[in-house]
Structure 1
Amino acid sequence: MNILFITDNFPPEVNAPATRTYEHCKEWVRQGARVTVITGAPNFPQGKVFDGYKNKLYQKEVVDGIQVVRVWTYITRNQGFMRRTLDYLSFAFTSFLAGLFQKADVIVATSPQFFTTWAGWALSKLKRKPWVFELRDLWPESIKSVGALNDGKLYQFLEKIELGLYDSADHIIPNTDAFRKNLIERGVDKNGISVITNGSNLDLFTPPPNGQTDALKAKLGISDKFTVGYIGTHGMAHALDFIVDSVYEMQDANIHFLFIGDGAEKENIRQKVEKYKLTNVTMLDPVPKNDMPLYLSIIDVSLVPLKKSDTFKTVIPSKIFEAAAMDKPVLLGVDGQARKIIEKYESGLYFNPENKADFIEKTRLIADNKELYKSLARNCRRLATDFDRKKLANEMLEVLSRV
């Protein structure tokens, strides 16, 4: 089977979309499929092309058996609605052109970003091949929820296109049950939907030798600290400004906060840390995906926050599964689907999103109650095993085979 996969993000980018796509495609190749990925030059989230790459019209490489085609896009930093929209539209156009020359028995287009699916739809019509909408974000609803788009004519226009794409797809693969429920309530045929959640890469996320962990802790000056870590994009949706405000109010020098990553809000967060003169906050640049297990090993708790919004009750952040694979409990500020998983497996504590008092209370509880912490950490293994990425990739491959 020839699978043509269109995605705006792919390694060496390290965000959740890039990771999910790469790990699924790698497993499909291992199972005998021929996989071609169309993507752009790696640049997320800084908007700068990574070393060793160029923003060329067309270039090819092979990554772990995956045929990767990189196309030109208008590149901009991950901020500013209009510029990002131009970035997304340019990829939709160039990925469509490149897709015309690729073999495909089935076409998969993944969102976000939303315009990628336009290319999948158009290629499906011209090639007369089925296409699958992989749904990882309810766009444009999620853009509205962070204040980047209001509920006006543009939003209504984009929502009509969104529903049209759902109807035209031969199958839809959302990554949460809540997304599936949302689609069914909006009139999408439930028989054309299969949920494939995010999961844990149990091969990559294994604890490194203690010597490496201890050395990195010493280097960062956190050897004797209870460390709460956030590793990922510093974007508008992640409510990290709220976290810094809470840290300032908490005034607890024994609890250290480690922020690793980049994004549209990073400089604002840095300025707030400096304004408050917080000595128990460390901010680091993004680290390569293969180094993430080491950095997860130096923290005690993985912080997973999002803004308070009904939209985010439908998402399940991939950070949950990465932390679980490393036996790290989660301090979760996301209600809905994610909360259900954490509470079912008793692998972390939930705090009300953007509620300072609750965040401070739960942070102190997980830091001070040693028996509770040990229990939560033990339960992480069962969560990670139940959401093994390889198993989930094979489930998705079965769906693509049926399509």
Structure 2
Amino acid sequence: MRILYIHQYFKTPQEGGAIRSWHLANALADDAHEVLVISSHNKKSGLRHFGNVKVHYVKVAYDNSFSYGKRIRAFVSFSYKALRIIMSEKRPDLLFATSTPLTVGILALVIKKLKGIPYIFEVRDLWPLVPEEMGIFKNKSIIKTAYFFEKKIYKNADRIIALSPPIETYISTRINDKKKVVCIPNFSDCEYFVPHKNTYSDKYPLVNGKFVIGYFGAAGKANDLLRLAEAAAYFKNAGIRKVVFLVISSGAELFEIQRYAFGHDLDNIIFSDFQDKEKIREALSLCDASYVSYADFPSLWTGSPNKFFDGIASGKLIILNFEGWIKAIVEEYDCGIYYDRNKPEQLWEKLEPFLNNSGLLEKAQVNSRRLALEKFSKKDLVAKFLTLFK
């Protein structure tokens, strides 16, 4: 089958970030499908080959630090340029479009109407619910139009992949069709990430001999990473010197978080630039716990954050500051802690037993790895994904 894979933010392992599409595109190619990915790039355009996967890049500037208006312009620009390429390409048998943004789904819908090509739509975040709830979309006409297209995209898709159980439930209810929707969450690469603890680092000497909490991901409004800095401030003021935070991040809010840390003279936070997957694996090996954060908007809690799946694959204690399906499964497997984002003292109350009892920490970390293997193994979820293309 010839498959046209539309993902505006397709990343390779060398680039770092979310590489779900890298794994899925390669799995399709390994399963004897012909795969062409259409994606964007800040600096270049043109065709590149990654093994059996071809990627056609269109030049569209984008950065997590962009304003929301500038992001919308980037979404529209990508859709327009991608449509021109797709219309000139050899006709595929199937489109596979992964969001966000929602404009990728509109692109798939337009191509289906123009050329009669069926599509599978993958939903990573609930748009427009998330930007509406966060106050990003305020104009009632824009919100109404976005919900119109959302439903139309769902209705016209051959199948829909939801990245979490609550997203699956939301879409099934929205279109009154449970059979069309399948849940395939983000996965844990349990072969690449393995439980391992390095106790010494030349690169990050402040972690040596400490209990290390790692955060590796974006620093945008949705992530509310200031809560981590506030926890670090509480720890310092309370004289808790045995815990440090390692933050490898980029995004619109990062400067404010760093300014808060420097303004409070926090010597228990280490900041480092965003890195590729190999460097993230090395950094995770220094950590005892993995911090996963979302802002206080319930629609965000339906997400499927990569940092969580990398953390459990690496056998780390999971620290959450939000509720939802991930909190429920962490509690089911007894592999982490949840604390009220507004009460950093609560984080210490729940964390302290793990520092005082190495057996308790080890048990939680073993459970974390077990969760990755039993529920989110890349091997199992990719196999489930491939059945949709038979």
How would you bin the TM-score normalised by the shorter chain? over 0.9
Identify the match of residue 164 of structure 2 among 176, 179, 184.
176
1:84 aligns to 2:86 (yes or no): no
Listed as ranges, the matches of 1:4-403 within 5 Å are 4-12=4-12, 13-16=15-18, 19-41=19-41, 49=42, 54-56=43-45, 59-100=46-87, 101-150=89-138, 152-206=140-194, 213-214=198-199, 216=201, 219-251=204-236, 252-386=240-374, 387-401=376-390
2:211–2:242 Cα contact (<8 Å) kept: yes
Q: In structure 2, how many angstroms separate the alpha carbons of the residues matched to 1:242 and 1:105?
A: 47
Change (3 A) 1:378 1:394: same
CA distance in 2, matches of 1:118, 1:78: 24
SS in 1 for 2:263: helix
| Deviation at residue 241 of structure 1 after TM alignment | 0.9
Alpha-carbon spacing, 1:132–1:188, altered in 2? closer, same or farther (3 Å): farther
Percent identity reads 25
Residue identity in the other structure for 1:327: G
- Structure 1 pair 359–145 and aligned structure 2 pair: CA distance change class (3 A): farther
Cα distance, 1:362 vs structure 2: 2.5
2:95 aligned partner, one-letter code: I
Deviation at 1:339, TM superposition (A): 1.0
Query: C-alpha displacement at 1:275, in angstroms?
Result: 0.6
Distance 1:197 1:93 in 2: 29
Of 64-73 and 358-367, the range deviating more from structure 2: 358-367
Distance 1:204 1:88 in 2: 32
Q: Number of residues paired by the alignment?
A: 383
| Aligned amino acid, residue 11 of structure 1 | K
Q: Is there any run of 5+ residues in structure 1 with no aligned partner, and where?
A: 42-48
Measured in 2, the distance between the counterparts of 1:385 and 1:103 equals 39
Q: Distance in 2 between matches of 1:225 and 1:102?
A: 57
Q: 1 CA distance for matches of 2:121 and 2:357? A: 44
Amino acid at match of 1:399: L
Residue pair 1:24, 1:393 contacting (<8 A) in 2 also: yes
Q: Letter of the aligned partner of 2:287 in structure 1?
A: I
Q: Aligned in 2, Cα 1:65/1:337: closer, same or farther, shift over 3 Å?
A: same
The question of whether the paired residues in 1 share the 8 Å contact of 2:3 and 2:36 is answered with: yes
Offset, 1:195: 0.9
Provide closer, same or farther for how the CA distance between residues 328 and 76 of structure 1 changes in structure 2, counting only shifts above 3 A. Answer: closer
How far apart in 1 are the matches of 2:127 and 2:182?
A: 18
In structure 2, what is the Cα distance between the partners aligned to 1:149 and 1:354?
26
Between stretches 1-10 and 358-367, larger displacement belongs to 358-367
Superposed displacement of residue 154, structure 1: 1.9
Q: Show CA shifts across 1:86-145 (max 9, x none).
A: 011111111122122144211011111111112111222233221011001001211233
Secondary structure of 2:194's counterpart equals: coil
Question: Alpha carbon RMSD of aligned pairs, Å?
Answer: 1.9
For residue 222 of structure 2, give the secondary structure of its aligned residue in structure 1: helix
Q: Distance in 2 between matches of 1:266 and 1:133?
A: 32
* Matched letter for residue 244 of structure 2: H
How far apart, CA to CA, are the structure 2 residues paired with 1:189 and 1:219? Answer: 51
Distance 1:232 1:76 in 2: 14
Q: Which amino acid aligns with 1:388?
A: S
Letter in 2 for 1:28: L
Note the alpha carbon deviations across 1:4-61, whole angstroms, 9 max, x for none: 1100112244333xx11111111222222221111011xxxxxxx4xxxx333xx111
Would you say the 8 A contact 2:4–2:92 is kept in 1?
yes
Q: Structure 2: any 5+ residue segments left out of the alignment?
A: none
Report the equivalent of 1:46: none
Cα-to-partner distance string for 1:183-232 (whole Å, 9 max, x where unaligned): 23323411211111111112321357x7xx45535643211110101001
Instruction: Kindly state the Cα deviation for residue 152 of structure 1 after the two structures are TM-superposed.
Output: 2.9
Cα contact 1:4–1:106 (8 A) shared by 2: yes
SS at match of 2:97: strand
- Cα contact 2:308–2:318 (8 A) shared by 1: yes
Is the contact made by 2:124 and 2:304 (CA closer than 8 Å) also made in structure 1? no
SS of the aligned residue for 2:388 comes to helix
Other structure's SS at 1:236 match: coil
Distance apart, 1:76 and its partner CA: 4.8
Structure 1 residues 294 and 173: CA distance shift in structure 2, 3 A: same
2:222–2:300: 8 Å Cα contact kept in structure 1? no
| Counterparts of 1:190 and 1:219, CA distance in 2 | 49
- The alpha-carbon distance between structure 1 residues 344 and 316, as it changes in their structure 2 partners (threshold 3 A), is farther
Give, in whole Å, the separation in 1 of the partners of 2:178 and 2:261: 47
Write the distance in 2 (CA, Å) between the matches of 1:281 and 1:233.
16
1:194 is paired with a residue of what secondary structure? strand
Displacement after TM superposition at 1:366 (Å): 3.4
Structure 1 pair 369/141, CA: closer, same or farther in 2 (3 Å)?
farther
